[in-house]
Amino acid sequence: MTIAPPYPQKRTCPYQPPTGYAAIAESGPVLKVTLFDGREAWMVTGYQESRDILTHPNLSSQRTHPAFPIVAPRFRSPVARSLAMIAMDPPEHDIYRRYLNPHFSLKMVRTMRGDIERIVAGFVDEIIEHGPPADLIPMLAMPLPSLVICQHLGVPYHDHEFFQDASGKVMLGDESESATAADSLVTYLDNLVTEQLSRPTDGLLGRLVTERVAEGDIGHDELVSIALVLLIAAHETTASSLALGIITLLEHPEQLAKLHADMSRLPRAVEELLRFIGTTDLVATRVAKGDIEIAGTLIRAGEPVLVSGVLANRDEANHQRPDEFDILREDTHHLTFGFGIHQCLGQNLARLELEVALHQLLTRIPTLKLAVPVDQLPILGAGTVQRVLELPVEW
């Protein structure tokens, strides 16, 4: 193994880390890796070490810092380096989170369950009517989070194909595609915010216009940036997590049987899926703004830092049989949604969507199975979001 192994690496199985990550984990919990551009960055792979560093005051999210780690060419664009909340440190970050937290709280999300159940029921109706084989990517995994976040934000759903395509290119396209897609999304959302300023709707964007823009708390461009982050984050990662979760359950029939025997196990199964599949290899890209000592290693001010959720979630020091998928395990705690002040704003909504979708899909189509071997499923992504391009199933 080289002193600083390459990162990221591509998966060969949709729900398993790349084979080369085992050697990276063995060299952890803190080591250096080599990025695509030849630069080196510190990577934290241990579970406890990841929690510790994610709450360290000397860890910064300022993506405009010259040493900030860029894990793929597409993340060099100005839009990617200036995202609201994601690319901010306190106190600015905390102000934005304070404005948004009530709209994604557990209490708020629970009020959305009935609507989400009706949305999922409609998609499953169409799947059953279509008959096998059916591709669950365009029939469920992609449109579900799009429709939910559209309704929550107040974004017209008839435009969903545009922002599904654009958000996918932002996260997974090449550098040119990503920058072009980001610019088109910003233009679209800029026009939408302008409309909301004159005629605010009942969606989150309209409420923010009424509550915050009108009071001078945030400006027009800031609201556009917030909308961009929420639209991309809520759609892309949830869609991929649902697809990977379905594949994982179908590829582990003994675990699926336990779930069919008692569907009250589903919430715990969702947590185990989130721990096991690691939809995103990383939970944080940061830069040290001051010295940080972690696990006997000194990370100096100005050095780039990565935190690997997929490896932290499989840390032998924190999980028994970490590489086994077990829906009955007690130690389902994970860092899939990050930790500390930047913990995923939409985690409650993502959990609910996964739970409702899996419940209806598995109870209404109990004999569901993959229509092709798992190694024939086309997958895209390395180090960001793992996207399955097709998910044909039979029953």
**Hey, what are 9's tokens?**
């690496």
Q: For 183-218, give one letter per residue: b (16+ CB within 10 A) or e.
A: ebbbebbeebbeebbeebbebbbbbbbeebbeeeeb
Specify whether the CB–CB gap between 46 and 317 falls below 8 A: yes
Q: Does residue 28 sit in helix, strand or coil?
A: coil
Looking up tokens 């009108």, which residue turns up? 214
Question: Phi, psi (5° rounding) for residue 32?
Answer: -100, 140
End-to-end CA distance of the chain: 44
Distinct helix (H) and strand (E) counts, the chain: 15, 12
d(CA 189, CA 349): 22
d(CA 392, CA 132): 8
CA distances from 155 to 29, 347, 389 (A): 42, 20, 25
**Hey, what are 57's tokens?**
């005051």
d(CA 90, CA 6): 32
Q: What is the dihedral of CA 165, 170, 175, 181, to 10 degrees?
A: 60
Q: Which residues are registered as beta bridge partners of 134?
A: 393
Q: If residue 40 lies in a helix (H) or strand (E), which one and from where to where? A: strand 40-44
> What is the maximal distance between C-alpha atoms in the chain?
59
pLDDT number for residue 2: 53
pLDDT number for residue 1: 46
DSSP string, 233-268: HHHHHHHHHHHHHHHHHHT-HHHHHHHHH-GGGHHH
pLDDT, mean of each 10-residue run, the chain (395 residues):
82 92 93 95 97 97 94 84 90 94 95 97 98 97 92 85 81 81 89 88 90 88 90 86 98 98 98 95 96 97 97 95 96 94 95 98 98 93 80 98
Q: Does domain 21-394 have CATH number 1.10.630.10?
A: yes
Specify whether the CB–CB gap between 271 and 300 falls below 8 A: no
d(CA 16, CA 11): 7
Specify whether the CB–CB gap between 296 and 31 falls below 8 A: no
- How many alpha carbons fall within 13 Å on the CB side of residue 9? 18
CB neighbourhood size of 236 (10 A): 25
Specify whether the CB–CB gap between 279 and 385 falls below 8 A: yes
Q: If residue 11 lies in a helix (H) or strand (E), which one and from where to where? A: none
Write the pLDDT tens digit of every residue in 166-177. 877 887 777 888
Q: Does residue 274 sit in helix, strand or coil?
A: helix
CB neighbourhood size of 250 (10 A): 17
d(CA 215, CA 201): 17
CA distances from 4 to 30, 297, 305 (A): 11, 15, 13
Q: What is the pTM of this model?
A: 0.94
d(CA 348, CA 34): 34
d(CA 370, CA 357): 17
Instruction: Please name the amino acid found at residue 303.
Output: E
